[in-house]
Chains A and B, each alone.
Chain A
Amino acid sequence: MGALPVKTARLLRQMLTHAFLSLSAVLVLIPFYWMAGTSLKPSAEVERVPPTLFPGHFRWANYIDAIRQAPLLTYLLNTIIVGIAVAAVGTIITVLSAYAFARMHFPGRQTLFFTVLAMMMIPQEMLIITNFRTIAEFGWMNTWQALIVPFWVNPFNIFLLRQTFMQIPDELYWAAKVEGMGHFRYLTRVMLPLSRSTVAVTVIFTMIWIWQTYAWPNLVTTKDELRLVSNGLQNAFTNSVGTIEYELQMAAAMLVTLPLILLFLLLRKPILSGMIHGGIKG
């Protein structure tokens, strides 16, 4: 590239970048596209083998059928409520813990942090049975608490936020301390605004987690009024023989995915702008 004039070189570079990104984007999108396509196909076409790439004609009624067959709207509402409750308290816990690990010095800091990290390593599936018994003993079967409280601590989020906090230079803290700021004020007035994007990202991660989690809510809720979308997607479109009505399941999946996409679009500005302003100018 050294031989070409600067402008052409840059243009070529940009074109290549775009080409590469577009190709990757297309590859990444294929499953999502298939999900959308199947949700609009009539049931006969779904069974076609080889599968058609584009629906023969659009059957929007699949969405209505999906809502009728499973109380999707109830599930969706429940999931949103649980998501907000978990994100609200969970973010507070994450912020406080990440701050303590990033900025404060106290005996046992390394050990305690490793413990949190260790909790991330443990597959949820392993703890499920004991937690189920615990919940039953609390009398929390089929309650909101059972769906919300166990998710309040998310080690991954703590780890991520600590990471971001640690990249904020010490000098800022010393300057604040000189002005008489205590930890709490420093956290809320200085660190949080600077870490806006990461906090936004942790909120999204939490929401995605609640959206996708299946094993636990399935175990602790036995009544439709409390169930979450994951349960609806897995079970509601299986017929008596065991085969699945894919077009309805995909329509439901699309419906259920929309709020997450909307959330991302809403939080996109804070995420991106937070990232841009993340660096501290000398």
Chain B
Amino acid sequence: MGEALYQKEFIVSGGDFDRAGEVSTAIKSILKSAGISNPIIRRVAIASYETEMNVVIHAYNGKIDLILTPDSVIIECTDVGPGIENIDLAMQEGYSTASDEMRELGFGAGMGLPNIKRSSDNFEIDSEINKGTHVKITIHHTTA
């Protein structure tokens, strides 16, 4: 995978719908100026947006790291929150634990994690109940 050429940390606060989406916008603009190809940017944009929204919808707070290596874009997210009880279930399309309140806002379609996985070349997730969730997304920018 090679060493990190670039790393930047972004903070996401749970429940802050006002600023939700700003992190993925910032990541997109960095990748653009780094000359990453358009199809890769789109995949990263989708994966990072869904990741960011998961923190906003489900967690208390979290951080997202953008890491660029010579061959990959890595999005790593660590949140403090309720955690995911059953990851296999959460990975299924349409499954959601979003509250009624969130669903009323149009979130919680149960497509977040499946969408992230679909956009990534490598996807790792681990979670601990009442502690939080850690997600690592790798998208290769040289293979495309």
The judgment on whether A and B are partners is no
Question: Which of B's residues lie within 8 Å of A, judged by CB?
Answer: none
**A interface residues (Cβ-Cβ under 8 A, vs B):** none
